[in-house]
Structure 1
């Protein structure tokens, strides 16, 4: 299959080699051309519009603003090849997803929302979990691409917004898990039990999941080199709270997490892994210098 790929950040750069390995022809566009040129086996496109001349287009951009700038301001959909399927794999708001669905329908182009669960290291192994929603026939057509990128595709129906709200809710849950581990280790350390000893117990028993293990290890070792930048975690919590507000839903714990993420950014942790949120939680508990 001929694929246009828009957005070669750390996640996109990890995904593209698996598509090539599976035998697909990949043509990429990125605002930073050097990032696109650094990938082996791809053709670099002159514009996002050119990506829509292929059988399918995968978009992996950072946020709603980037999506609007690259896709809508450029009017890339206006000249898209008929029969092209656009796969939006970025984490975007349900509101923008609904808007894009309508615009694609007007342009006669199939639109599939397929955000992913996983970090770049997971993407590089082809082990992402892909959350797909949209036209069933279009999803079936691009399923070979999902098979190359992920270990499983979770089908959530024909409304693309279902995939997007699932992704932002899931990311919100990860921030809540990090917050809870920060608070729990504050409690155990106040009694003299090391965070590493406590987290070894809970991440191998009642919370034996990849996220708890990965981010619990960061907290235990006090090491927060980026896997997923904290500023992106803050963006996703804001997406969740905005989506909730649109439906008159209240998310009290997410509000606390947003406050702590904002404190983390203010204290220079924005470029660290989002598990650095736990540093703020622990500081507020009085266990580290610089209590918030």
Structure 2
């Protein structure tokens, strides 16, 4: 397949070689073209609009604001042919995803939301879990790509918003797993039990799953080299709180996590792994009061900056 790729961050850099190895052709745009220099076989595009000249477009932009700036404000979608299928793999607000669906429908373009579960190392092995929602026929057409990139595609409905909210909720659960590990280790340590011993017990018995095992080791070893950066995790917990607010849903555990993440950001940990917020103790003087529904990116309808590329 001929694929246009928009936004080549750490996940994009892991995904593109997998697509190339499977025989697909990739033409990519990124704000920093030099990012593509060490991805042999990738054609570099001058504008994001040029990606929509391909039959399939994958966008992996950082957040709502980047999507609004790159795809909506600058009119990139208008370049797409009627047979084009746009796969959005970013984690976006359900409000923006609904807006994108409306615009795609008006232009006659198929929109598939396909955020993923897995860090870049998992993506590089083609072992992602892909959360897909959108028109069934469009998902069927791009399923060969999903089969290359993931070990399973989870079809969650015909509205792209459904995959979006599944990813937001799942990421919220991961942050709460990190919080539970941090609190439990602190309790164990205060009674003289080595955190390494405690973590080994719970991650091999009650919570024998990748998230607890991976982040438990980060906490025990106090090593937070990024798989998924903390500032992006804060964006996602804000998305969860913002999605819950209009429904009148309280998310008390999410508020605790948000507070800890904001404190970690204040300590300069934004580019560390998102589990680094576990190193911020409750009651730390740098911990701000919970600020539910605070979002670092504009919500749909907010003014966007002039068209300048964002990856």
* Shorter-chain TM band: over 0.9
Q: TM-score, normalised by structure 1?
A: 0.96
1:285 CA drift (Å)? 6.9
The residue aligned with 1:150 is: 150
Matched, 1:58 2:61: no
- Matched with 2:102 is 102
CA distance in 1 between counterparts of 2:286 and 2:91 reads 33
Q: Is contact 2:11-2:123 (8 Å) kept?
A: yes
Deviation of the 1:79 alpha carbon: 2.0
Structure 1 residues 266 and 2 mapped into 2: Cα distance closer, same or farther (>3 Å)? same
Structure 2: distance between partners of 1:250 and 1:263: 21
Which residue of structure 1 aligns with residue 296 of structure 2? Answer: none
Does 1:245 find its partner at 2:237? no
Q: 1:284 aligns with which of 282, 285, 308?
A: 282
Task: Structure 2 unaligned segments of length 5 or more: list them.
Answer: 288-311
3-state SS, counterpart of residue 26 of structure 1: strand
Instruction: State whether structure 2 residue 1 is matched by structure 1 residue 10.
Output: no
Unaligned runs of 5+ in 1: none
Q: Counterpart of 2:83?
A: 83
Higher helix share: 1
Q: TM-score, normalised by structure 2?
A: 0.90
Shift of 1:27: 0.5
**Are the counterparts in 2 of residues 88 and 114 from structure 1 also a CA contact under 8 Å?**
yes
Residues 265-274 or 133-142, more deviating = 265-274
RMSD in angstroms over aligned alpha carbons?
1.2
Give 1:267 deviation, angstroms.
1.3
The aligned counterpart of 1:122 is 122
Matched-pair contact (CA < 8 Å) for 1:284–1:291: no
Counterpart-to-counterpart distance in 1, 2:103 and 2:80: 12
Q: Distance in 2 between matches of 1:14 and 1:27?
A: 15
Aligned to 2:227: 227
Match of 2:200 in 1: 200
The separation in 1 between residues aligned to 2:15 and 2:40, in whole angstroms, is 12
SS in 2 for 1:207: coil
- Provide the C-alpha distance between the structure 2 equivalents of 1:259 and 1:10, rounded to a whole number of angstroms: 26
Aligned to 1:28: 28
Equivalent residues of 2:263, 2:286 under 8 A apart: no
